[in-house]
């Protein structure tokens, strides 16, 4: 029976490549595993898969009673609606635990590393398995994506060592790859602001109040900041549609290492002021120097300020 591997909704590169890498690893152990996605991928991931010769994984099927492995997430609101808690066999993740309960026992591997693929790279080593050049390249891309080319505060020494070791086989120029990935991610042609707000967007159901935090990592912040009014409109719609109390959306300049956070309403303003110690707010946008990581620099301070 096929076991489906799937990352979170609104997948990022780490979520998608983790599924592909884990499929490769399990197949080396003669197991029937299939990498899938929970919703359409972003342009950075498209670029990475194409560059290293991988197909976009199919959507996870809705069939009942299937077996599923979650990668790169565990919070119920970030899991595909096609996955039922009783179908989950294992979780490989690098996030905090977010309130999932299951009727059955399961395998779990969690480590506070920069990416989920870092953890999978270590699993190859533990099991004494070889990593191919293609898979090694994918792992490096996943680490670069989640750690913003090793600049995010979530980056660990282990991530750097894993990438450096794999690069002996992959032979990549990491900075060149990172720049191409960031450029692909910054391409907004044909996208409206509703899509941009929702592309890298997570709902947090285990906080004191239901909150959502979207980010847009870019090398061209102006290309999005110049559509301010449409973004505020999109946030209003999304907040109502997702039934969250508070919505946050941040444009992250990955080159400067700073963020602009939209203040969607008076309650959000209160939280942002408390979370970031009265930051400069101009025309409804808070300026947050040094902030790039949602996991480390948005989720904890926002949760603490609720
Ligand atoms: Mn990740």
Residues 64-74, mean pLDDT to the nearest whole number: 97
- Number of Cβ within 10 Å of residue 106's Cβ equals 13
Residues 94-139: pLDDT tens digits? 999 988 999 999 999 999 999 999 999 999 999 999 999 999 999 9
Long-range CB pairs of 277-283 (<8 Å, 24+ gap) are 283/228
CA angle 102, 97, 20 (to 5 degrees): 80
User: Which residues keep their CB under 5 angstroms from ion ligand 1?
Assistant: 14, 72, 115-116, 146
**Ligand 1 midpoint to CA 286 (Å):** 25
- Note the pTM of the prediction, 2 decimals: 0.94
**Residue-by-residue DSSP string for 230-256:** HHHHHHHHHHHHTT-SEEEEEEEETTT
Confidence label for 213 from pLDDT (cuts 50, 70 and 90): very high
**Ligand 1 midpoint to CA 18 (Å):** 8
**Ligand 1 midpoint to CA 156 (Å):** 13
**Ligand 1 midpoint to CA 293 (Å):** 11
pLDDT at 191: 95
Q: Are strands 285-289 and 280-282 parallel, antiparallel or unpaired?
A: antiparallel
Flag whether pLDDT at 177 surpasses 90: yes
**Ligand 1 midpoint to CA 276 (Å):** 24
End-to-end Cα distance, the chain? 44
**Ligand 1 midpoint to CA 207 (Å):** 19
Q: Which of 51, 48, 20, 185 minimizes the C-alpha distance to 117?
A: 20
Residues 157-176: pLDDT tens digits? 999 999 999 999 999 999 99
Rounded alpha-carbon distances, angstroms, from residue 251 to 175, 260, 286: 22, 5, 10
For residues 271 and 40, give the distance between their C-alpha atoms in angstroms, rounded to a whole number: 31
């Amino acid at each position: 029976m096929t076991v489906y591997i799937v990352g979170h909704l609104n997948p990022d590169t780490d979520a998608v490549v983790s599924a592909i890498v884990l499929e490769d690893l399990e197949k080396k152990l003669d197991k029937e595993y299939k990498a899938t996605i929970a919703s359409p991928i972003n342009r950075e991931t498209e670029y990475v898969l194409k560059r290293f010769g991988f197909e976009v994984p199919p959507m996870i099927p809705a069939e009942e009673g299937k077996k599923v492995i979650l990668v790169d997430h565990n919070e119920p609101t970030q899991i595909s609606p096609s996955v039922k808690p009783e179908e989950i066999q294992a979780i490989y993740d690098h996030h905090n635990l977010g309130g999932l309960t299951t009727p059955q026992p399961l395998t779990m591997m969690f480590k506070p590393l920069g990416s989920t693929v870092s953890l999978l790279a270590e699993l190859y080593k533990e099991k004494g398995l070889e990593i191919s050049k293609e898979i090694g390249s994918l792992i490096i891309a996943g680490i670069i994506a989640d750690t913003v080319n090793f600049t995010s505060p979530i980056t660990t020494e282990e991530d750097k060592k894993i990438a450096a070791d794999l690069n002996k086989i992959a032979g990549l120029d990491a900075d060149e790859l990172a720049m191409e990935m960031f450029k692909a991610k910054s391409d907004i042609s044909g996208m409206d602001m509703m899509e941009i707000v929702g592309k890298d967007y997570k709902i947090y159901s285990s906080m004191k109040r239901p909150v959502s935090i979207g980010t847009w990592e870019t090398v061209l912040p102006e290309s999005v900041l110049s559509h301010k009014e449409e973004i505020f409109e999109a946030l209003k719609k999304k907040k109502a549609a997702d039934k969250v109390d508070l919505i946050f959306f941040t444009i992250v300049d990955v080159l400067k290492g700073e963020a602009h956070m939209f203040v969607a309403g008076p309650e959000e303003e209160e939280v942002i002021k408390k979370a970031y110690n009265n930051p400069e707010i101009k025309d409804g946008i808070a300026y947050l120097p040094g902030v790039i990581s949602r996991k480390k620099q948005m989720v904890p301070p926002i949760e603490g300020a609720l």
